Amino acid sequence: MVLLLSPLHQRHEALGAKFSEFGGWSMPLEYAGGGVLAEHKAVREAVGLFDVSHLGKALVRGTGAVDFVNKCLTNDLSRIAPGKAQYTLCCSEDGGTVDDLIAYLRSEFEVFLIPNAANTAEVVRRLRAAAPEGIEVENQHRDFAVLAIQGPLSDELLDALGLPSDHDYMSFTKGTIDDVELTVCRTGYTGERGYELVVAAEEVVPVWDAVMAAGESLGIRACGLGARDTLRTEMGYPLHGHELSAEVSPVMARAGWAVGWSKPTFWGKEALERQREEKSVRTLRGLLAQGRGIPRPGMAVHAADGGVLGEVTSGTFSPTLRQGIGLALLDRTVADGDTVTVDVRGRQQEFTVTKPPFVEPSTKED
């Protein structure tokens, strides 16, 4: 398979990036001069810059666009006003998760969507198939680049760039860098205060250069998707294909807060309501290592008597806590504080069941 390249690929090569495949794209996993641990530390203590241009982009527009999207995706767009963003999910009729995404409410006529890279075409296909006359669904996946500025010094960096930094969490506004127009979104996937810049793909190189230059005195680091994964795991944020999938519903992933239960309709509503009422499916929990074990996806989770309680969906070494952490789908009989074991390379390692996040988030701090 020929992988797609970010418009910033040459910048990544110049920084000594190690590349990996993400959703059909060749994207930086980590950079020379420190790797994942140094990049993770920069985001937790200073500021990091991620290229996440592989993420999808789609536009739904036309008279009634908001009402149409609201009848399809799980969350309730009536809860937010134009200029706000909302985490939501696209589900199949059996309750499985086609994708999780962010919806940006531009106006009553336009909703901009950022799905995951691998699922963009399917989300667009489903929306197009359901769209009534007068509603247009446009796949803009390669038209825009996305840069994520994340860390406690994000505001100082945006101020140095002349970008707005005083808007609320999950809101967005316009800005310019060297006459390049962009959208400044107060969003992110790290648990730190941060922003994501959506800019035309053909204009992103000078924006990247300006951000890196302005952040030099703040200790900025270019960060790869390896650090993005350790950061999101410390927060307990789901990753599609792991904590969410065609087999893992929002109810199972404990993402019911992103479901508009009182809405008359959305894709998968009946199946999700049934799961919610029956309380029979496994649900997502956190695992904190009691020793040196590091859980990995697919590893079985056992009770003291050896019975299987579930399976690890994500696991890593937490650079912040300096110990193994994981997310797992577990039977509902398991309670927070329980000790379970995971077969890590042939050895039963003990973990404490807990409710994420593992690290205190600062996304909403003023």
pLDDT digits (tens, 9 = 90+) for 254-293: 999 999 999 999 999 999 999 999 999 999 999 999 999 9
Per residue in 61-82, pLDDT (tens digit) is: 999 999 999 999 999 999 999 9
Q: For the chain, give the percent of residues with pLDDT over 90.
A: 97
pLDDT for 146: 98
Task: Identify whether the C-beta of residue 235 lies closer than 8 Å to the C-beta of residue 191.
Answer: yes
Which tokens in the block code for residue 220? 């900025």
363 pLDDT band, cuts 50/70/90, is confident
| E runs forming strands in the chain | 4-5, 18-22, 25-30, 48-51, 58-61, 84-91, 97-107, 110-114, 136-139, 144-150, 172-177, 180-185, 194-200, 221-223, 283-289, 300-302, 308-318, 323-330, 339-344, 347-354
Name the one residue in this structure whose structure tokens are 């399917």: 122
The C-alpha atoms of residue 79 and residue 268 are separated, in whole angstroms, by 20
How far separated are the first and last CA of the chain, in Å rounded?
45
Nearest CA to 174 out of 86, 87, 75, 104 is that of 104
366 pLDDT band, cuts 50/70/90, is low
Which tokens in the block code for residue 161? 């760039």
Structural domains present in the chain: 4-52+143-234 (3.30.1360.120), 58-139 (3.30.70.1400), 282-356 (2.40.30.110)
pLDDT at 120 over 90: yes
Contacts of 53 (CB under 8 A, 6+ apart): 6, 7, 8, 25, 144, 145, 146, 147, 201, 204
- Cβ-in-10-Å burial (0-12, 13-18, 19+) of 271 comes to middle
How much is the average pLDDT of 110-123?
Answer: 98
Average pLDDT, rounded, for the chain: 97
Per residue in 170-204, pLDDT (tens digit) is: 999 999 999 999 999 999 999 999 999 999 999 99
Q: In sequence order, what are the beta bridge partners of 283?
A: 330
H-type alpha helices, the chain: 9-14, 35-45, 65-72, 120-130, 154-161, 204-214, 225-235, 269-278
pLDDT at 1 over 90: no
Asked whether the whole model's pTM tops 0.85, one would answer yes
How much is the average pLDDT of 31-35?
Answer: 96
Nearest CA to 144 out of 6, 3, 2 is that of 6
pLDDT at 223 over 90: yes
Using alpha carbons only, what angle is made at residue 230 by residues 165 and 294, rounded to the nearest 5 degrees? 160
How much is the average pLDDT of 336-349?
Answer: 95
How much is the average pLDDT of 86-92?
Answer: 98
Instruction: Say whether 203 counts as a known binding-site residue.
Output: no
pLDDT at 365 over 80: no
pLDDT for 37: 98
Per residue in 35-55, pLDDT (tens digit) is: 999 999 999 999 999 999 999
